[in-house]
Amino acid sequence: MPLPKGNKKLHRIEGRQMISGVCAGVADYFDAPVTVVRILTVLFGLCFGVGFLVYAVLMTILPDEYGSR
C-alpha cells in the first residue's frame, strides 16, 4: 500500500460500512481497495489475533467522516 499524500486524515466511513466503517476508512486513507483491507483484517485476526483487537481500538477512537465519534 502506498503512503498517503497530502493532508489526509484517518477516519471511519459510515456509508461504506459493514460493521463500523473502519476498514473503509483505512482503505480510503491508503488508496487501497476496501475488500483487500477487509480480507487482511480477517486474516490478521484469525492468524495472530491482532486484527480484531486493532479493529476494536480503531472503532472506538476514530472519528467518523464528519468528525464525531
pTM across the whole model:
0.77
Tell me the C-alpha distance between 60 and 32, whole Å. Answer: 22
pLDDT at 49: 78
Tell me the C-alpha distance between 52 and 9, whole Å. Answer: 22
13-51 per-position pLDDT tens digit: 887 778 888 889 899 899 999 999 999 988 888 888 787
pLDDT at 36: 94
**CA distances, 31 to each of 3, 11, 43, 44, 46 (Å):** 9, 13, 20, 20, 24
Q: Is the pLDDT of residue 4 over 60?
A: no
Tell me the C-alpha distance between 40 and 68, whole Å. Answer: 26
